[in-house]
Amino acid sequence: MKWMVLTLVVMMVSACSTWETRQHASELSQMRQDDEACLAKGRHYPDADYISCRYQLQNDRAYYAWKCLQMTKCPRGLPNASPQPITQTEEYKPLDEARFHCWKVTQFGGDYIYCGVKQEPE
């Protein structure tokens, strides 16, 4: 019995590790695509225009994800049903541009430019 539990735990840890690896690879791919999109517009790191371009791309994705979430709250299959009103706490909040920064990181033999909102220390 202990052997089965241990095997199950090892399999679960392995699955989590695989998911985290895929998630990280997806994030790196998205960063590379964002970098290429901004470079195609003639913007280069570390210029302010480049950081603004990356901010806009990430903010657009965040808005799209928020919009999709709002659409899932609408009742489906009921022709006369109206969507639930959006409450004050469900309004879209754009990324904090004042705390949005980019920085260069070398990983896996390549240079990546990470961008995001730096969290305040608690």
Residue 44 lies inside a defined structural domain of this protein: yes
Residue 84 lies inside a defined structural domain of this protein: no
Residue 61 lies inside a defined structural domain of this protein: yes
Q: What is the pLDDT of residue 65?
A: 86
Span 25-71, pLDDT tens digits: 788 888 889 999 999 999 999 899 999 999 999 999 989 888 888 77
Tell me how far apart the alpha carbons of residues 42 and 56 are, in angstroms, rounded to a whole number.
15
Q: With pLDDT > 90 as the criterion, what percentage of the chain qualifies?
A: 29
Residue 67 lies inside a defined structural domain of this protein: yes
Q: Is residue 118 within 8 Å of residue 96, measured between CB atoms?
A: no
Residue 17 lies inside a defined structural domain of this protein: yes
Determine phi and psi for 9, rounding to 5 degrees.
-65, -45
* Domain housing 11: 1-71
Span 85-97, pLDDT tens digits: 555 457 888 889 9
